[in-house]
Amino acid sequence: MKKRADGRYAKQVTVGIKNGKPVKKTVYGKTIKELERNYRELMLLIDRGIILDNQGITVTELMKEWYRIKKEGKVKRNTECAYSSIMKRIENSIGDMKVKDVTLYTVESLVTDIQKENLYKTSQSVLSMLYSIFDYAIHNNIVAINPCKGLSVKYDKKEKRILTEEEKIIINNITDELSEKEKVILLIMRYTGMRRGEIFSLTKSDIDKKTMTIQVNKTLIDNNGKPYVQDSTKTKSGSRHVPIFLPLAKPLFNYIGTLDKEYLFLNKNNNFYAVNSMNFLFKQIIKKLGLGEDLSTHCFRYNFITECYTAGIDVKKLQMWVGHTDISTTLNIYTKLARETIQDGSEMDKFYGSQTEVKQKSRKSKIS
């Protein structure tokens, strides 16, 4: 180990033999601790026969090593599922490329193709993962530069909207347009603001008729089309009790009375819904009722929060109802709604309008 002129520490390592000669690599670190960490990671790669000829290492090989060393066993199962999905997309697109051949154009083209599918969050996740993978490669002296540097995903986030008065009337007057299951799913979204995964993991024992509450303590996770129930919510604060309000109570209790299974919402094969199936079911509900096609499940959550604000619900209480980790999230929504209320001058328009009408009538009567 020696200290370089630029202040970094360096250590040279023999990683193998090629054409009868030792192949050496140099690892670096800003501190001795960082140098030793990078050295250990390099030795792990050597042990697996990955690093002997880094000119031939593929993106898939590098990605799998990055995941094994950096992420495996260190993240929650739902995060593992998310990583698996992103890694599969990278593998199917540029996985066979040699790492040394990946350029900024390569990554930019991949991200752009994903964006053309309107999958902006996915493109952001792919770029973020590739950035970490190539940083890892730099630390292990596999490449000199990160081809992701300077790239970013920019897109206009869709504005969340609330339900229109007409849509609220339609939902309040559902008759036979929907099945009982579809109706109850929609009403839970409408009157609790629960997240989609929380709704589709509900069981009979979660519904407490005595206290008129729904216990939220788990969520449905889609593991690449193989859904399972995770025995914890998205966040620690997600575990909570949500009030059952009057418009939901009777339809919910009647529906539960018809079930012979513990879970409230299973598909026709008595299995959990995958994400695609949940999305399809929601779109079918929207279509059957003639609601706005731009509605999303999150719009219902936002609508519930908005109505709580209008009803004067305390922000701390609402934070607990909707399971926001940080009260600032709830406060930000309340602040935005308060600003919109302040900017709404319709009451004064009505006042001034009525005053103008009075004056005009008075003037006409004097003239006559």
CATH number, residue 111: 1.10.150.130
Residues 191 and 315 in one domain: yes
Please check whether residue 229 lies inside any domain of the structure. Answer: yes
Nearest CA among 86, 96, 93, 91 for reference residue 126:
86
Per DSSP, what are the bridge partners of residue 25? 13
Claim to verify: residue 35 and residue 135 sit in the same structural domain: no
Residue 11 counted as domain residue: yes
Residues 64 and 86 in one domain: yes
∠ CA 355-356-360 to the nearest 5 degrees? 120
How far apart, in whole angstroms, are the C-alpha atoms of residue 302 and residue 193?
A: 7
Quote the pLDDT of residue 52: 45
Distance between CA atoms of 112 and 74, rounded to whole angstroms? 31
Q: Would residue 356 count as lying in a domain?
A: no
Following DSSP, what letter does each residue of 333-366 receive, concatenated? HHHHHHHHHHH--HHHHHHHHHHHHHHHHHHHHH
* Residues sharing a CB contact under 8 Å with residue 172, sequence separation 6 or more, in sequence order: 247
The answer as to whether 353 is a domain residue is no
Same domain, 210 and 239: yes
Across-strand partners of 12?
A: 26
Query: Within this chain, do residues 26 and 91 fall inside the same structural domain, yes or no?
Result: no
Handedness of CA 319, 244, 311, 173 (dihedral sign): positive
Q: How far apart are CA 277 and CA 289, in angstroms?
A: 19
- Residue range(s) defining the domain that contains residue 84: 55-157
Q: What is the pLDDT along the chain (368 residues), one digit of tens a residue?
A: 888 888 889 988 876 656 656 677 788 888 999 888 888 877 776 666 555 455 678 999 899 989 988 999 888 777 888 899 899 999 999 999 999 899 999 999 999 999 988 888 899 999 999 999 999 888 877 888 899 999 998 776 667 788 999 999 999 999 889 999 999 999 999 999 999 999 999 999 999 999 999 999 999 988 777 899 988 776 676 789 999 999 999 999 999 999 999 999 999 999 999 988 999 999 999 999 999 999 999 999 999 999 998 888 998 999 999 988 888 888 888 788 877 766 666 656 666 665 555 556 556 555 55
CA 76 to each of CA 199, 207, 221, 263, 324: distance values in angstroms, whole numbers, following the listed order: 21, 27, 11, 24, 19
Check whether residue 229 and residue 245 sit in a common domain. Answer: yes
Q: Does 179 lie in the same domain as 134?
A: no
The number of folded domains in the chain is: 3
SS (H, E, C) 173-224: CCCCCCCHHHHHHHHHHHHHCCCHHHHCCCEHHHEECCCCEEEECCEEEEEC
241: helix, coil or strand?
A: strand
169 & 296 share domain: yes
Provide the whole-model pTM.
Answer: 0.64
Evaluate the CA torsion angle 85, 86, 90, 91 in order and state its sign.
Answer: negative
Residue 113: what pLDDT? 93
Asked whether residue 174 falls in the same domain as residue 116, the answer is: no
Q: Is residue 19 part of a domain?
A: yes
